[in-house]
Amino acid sequence: MTWRGLLVSVRDAAEATAALAGGATIVDVKEPAHGPLGAADPQAIAGVAAIVGTRVPWTMACGELRAGAAGIVAHLERVQALLQAAPSAVPPAAVKVGLAGLAGGDWQAAVRGLWAALPAGPERVAVAYADWPVAAAPAPEDVIPLAASLGSSILLLDTFDKSGGGVLEWCPARRLADLMDAARSAGLRVAVAGRITMAEIPTLSALGPEVVALRSAVCSNDGRGSGRLGTVQEDLVHRARRLIDGSGVGAPAGASSGV
- What radius of gyration do the chain's Cα atoms show? 17
| Residue 225 belongs to a domain | yes
> What is the number of helices (H) and of strands (E) in the chain?
10, 10
CA angle 172, 243, 1 (to 5 degrees): 85
Alpha-carbon span 42 to 248, nearest angstrom: 35
| Residue 51 belongs to a domain | yes
State the average pLDDT over residues 78-92: 88
**pLDDT digits over 36-59, tens only?**
999 999 999 999 999 999 999 999
pLDDT greater than 80 at residue 1: no
State the average pLDDT over residues 112-131: 94
Q: What's the confidence (pLDDT) of residue 253? A: 39
Q: What's the confidence (pLDDT) of residue 259? A: 19
pLDDT greater than 80 at residue 251: no
Tell me which residue range forms the domain holding 59.
5-247
Confidence of residue 208 (pLDDT cuts 50, 70, 90): very high
| Residue 256 belongs to a domain | no
**pLDDT digits over 156-197, tens only?**
999 999 988 899 999 999 999 999 999 999 999 999 999 999
For the domain that residue 126 is a member of, what is the CATH number? 3.20.20.380
| Residue 120 belongs to a domain | yes
Q: What's the confidence (pLDDT) of residue 110? A: 97
**pLDDT digits over 222-247, tens only?**
655 458 899 999 999 999 999 998 86
| Residue 195 belongs to a domain | yes
Proportion of the chain above pLDDT 70, given as a percent: 92
What secondary structure letter does DSSP report for 87?
A: T
Q: What's the confidence (pLDDT) of residue 217? A: 95
Confidence of residue 258 (pLDDT cuts 50, 70, 90): very low
Residue type, 203: T
| Residue 145 belongs to a domain | yes
Q: What's the confidence (pLDDT) of residue 224? A: 52
Residue 87 CB neighbour total at 10 angstroms: 8
| Residue 254 belongs to a domain | no
Domain count, the chain: 1
| Residue 253 belongs to a domain | no
